[in-house]
Structure 1
Amino acid sequence: MKELVEILAKSLVDHPEKVEVTETKRDHTIILELHVSPDDMGKVIGKQGRIAKAIRTVVKAAATKENKRVVLEIIQ
């Protein structure tokens, strides 16, 4: 999951070297925190959050295949 989010985010931003994904596991849930440059926040979130929602949808679909629950948080 972590690698998937990292690949998607790096393809969207202007500063891919500043993209960082941290993974935390709690109970049956994986929490992924996506850190990007402040300049790239708009590109990752998109108009009305459409890109962020699309990224979350792809990650949740991949997690469902592995019977896991994933939460994606986008942090500046």
Structure 2
Amino acid sequence: MQELVKYIAQAMVEKPEAVEVTLTEKDNEFVVHLQVDPDDMGKVIGKQGRIAKAIRTVVKAASPKNEKPYFVEIQ
């Protein structure tokens, strides 16, 4: 899942080398932390959060149904 989020984020930003993705496990969920350069934050979030919502939708669709759900946090 980390590779998917990193691939999507790197395709959108001007500084792909600054993209960092980490995965943490909480009680009943996995959290994918996406960190980008502050100058690229607007591109990852998009107008009214549309891009961020699309990334979250792709991650949700790609996550296995029999495992804990995945969530994306953009930092």
TM-score by length of 2: 0.93
Q: Which has the higher strand share?
A: 1
In the alignment, what sits opposite 2:46? Answer: 46
Deviation of the 1:26 alpha carbon: 1.7
In the alignment, what sits opposite 1:3? Answer: 3
How far apart, in 1, do the equivalents of 2:28 and 2:63 lie?
11
Q: Per the alignment, in what secondary structure is the counterpart of residue 21 of structure 1?
A: strand
In the alignment, structure 1 segments of 5+ residues that lack a partner are none
In the alignment, what sits opposite 1:31? Answer: 31
How far apart, in 2, do the equivalents of 1:70 and 1:41 lie?
21
In the alignment, structure 2 segments of 5+ residues that lack a partner are none
- RMSD of aligned residue pairs (Cα, Å): 1.2
Runs of 4+ in 1 over 6 A off after TM superposition: none
Q: Percent identity?
A: 60
Aligned length: 75
TM-score by length of 1: 0.91
How far apart, in 1, do the equivalents of 2:38 and 2:74 lie?
11
Q: Deviations over 1:19-47 (max 9, x none)?
A: 00011012331111100000000000000
